[in-house]
Amino acid sequence: MSKVLKCRDVGLDCDYVVRAESEQEVMTKAAEHARNDHGIDEIPKEMLPQVKAAIHDE
Ligand SMILES: [Zn+2]
């Protein structure tokens, strides 16, 4: 089972899906994606609970 985060579920108009083995890894990959594709240097602290809530098992 892996952890999945859909960028769209965080409120962005984007079809990117992050898949990883752990929540920590999802967050790392999501931060990279946010930086590379959305120009977000760092996910804002106030957005973290929303991002974590959007992570699902698959
Ligand atoms: Zn995205």
pLDDT in tens, 3-43: 999 999 999 999 999 999 999 999 999 999 999 999 999 88
Alpha-carbon distance 34 to 57, whole Å? 21
Q: What pTM did the predictor assign? A: 0.89
Q: Which domain holds residue 19?
A: 3-57
- The rounded Å distance from CA 5 to ligand 1 centre is 10
Specify whether the CB–CB gap between 35 and 16 falls below 8 A: no
Q: Given this model, what pLDDT does residue 31 score? A: 95
Q: Given this model, what pLDDT does residue 18 score? A: 97
pLDDT digits (tens, 9 = 90+) for 37-54: 999 998 889 989 999 999
3 state DSSP class of 56: strand
Say how many C-beta atoms besides its own lie within 10 A of residue 20's C-beta: 17
Q: How many domains does the chain have?
A: 1
Q: Given this model, what pLDDT does residue 14 score? A: 97
Q: Given this model, what pLDDT does residue 20 score? A: 98
- The rounded Å distance from CA 1 to ligand 1 centre is 22
Specify whether the CB–CB gap between 51 and 43 falls below 8 A: yes
